[in-house]
Amino acid sequence: MMKIFLNYTQTISILNNLKLNWSDIIKNTFGIVVTSSGNINQDFGLDCLLNVQKYSKNSFYIKTLIAILFPAFFCICVILFWFFRFRARKSKFRDIMSNILITIAISLFFFQSPLINQLTQFLKCMTLGNDVYVDSFSIEKCTSVKYLLWKNSLVIPIFCFYSVVLPIIAFGYMFYNRQNL
């Protein structure tokens, strides 16, 4: 039940960030759920750390890169933890691999919501005058070569992995092992 509730609040948070023209009842529901679930995106609130003059132009990209790399860094830490635990206890390699996979799967789902929120903020553009700018960083044009390179080579593939591929893999694994769950 806790996983279902967490998934529900993460989904509502993501939908709330889309800023579509929702009806009043849905807006009120979003407000209640987002307020009660807290703001998990504060984990990636790097704006204060990157508020240095030399980083200000690139802070948008640095923040996105840190949000993308943090789950990978965490997974490396998990692998090292289980590896050293394996060495200390002289456990079976198969047991340690199952612990590594389970921990990484849970971690990736934990990072899914804040990362998707960060990536949707990267992808959301708005029109100001004759140009189109990133909604959350209004000095960066959505048509710049740097933005398009980041968007097409990094942001969209990571977004697709976390929003489509990871849930399909989890569903496939659960479906395949449905007798043992």
Model pLDDT for residues 96-141, shown as the tens digit of each residue: 787 788 888 888 877 887 888 888 888 888 888 888 888 877 788 8
The predicted-structure confidence for 51-105, as pLDDT tens digits, reads as follows 544 556 677 788 888 888 888 898 898 888 888 887 777 767 777 787 788 888 8
Tell me what percent of the residues of the chain surpass a pLDDT of 90.
7
Label residue 47 by pLDDT band (50, 70, 90): low
Q: Are 160 and 112 in contact (CB under 8 A)?
A: no
Q: Are 82 and 96 in contact (CB under 8 A)?
A: yes
Q: What is the pLDDT of residue 33?
A: 53
The structural domains of the chain, with segments of one domain joined by +, span: 1-38, 39-176
Helices within the chain (DSSP H only): 2-17, 24-37, 59-89, 93-123, 145-150, 156-160, 166-176
- How much is the mean pLDDT over the chain? 76
| Residue 21 DSSP one-character state | -
Q: Are 112 and 162 in contact (CB under 8 A)?
A: yes
Q: What is the pLDDT of residue 42?
A: 47
Residue-wise burial string across 19-28, b where 16 or more C-beta atoms lie within 10 A, e elsewhere: eeeeeeeeee
Q: What is the pLDDT of residue 95?
A: 72
| Residue 7 DSSP one-character state | H
What residues are paired with 125 via a beta bridge? 134
The predicted-structure confidence for 16-46, as pLDDT tens digits, reads as follows 666 667 677 666 666 655 554 444 444 445 5
Report how far Cα 135 is from the mean position of its chain's Cα atoms: 18
What residues are paired with 134 via a beta bridge? 125, 137
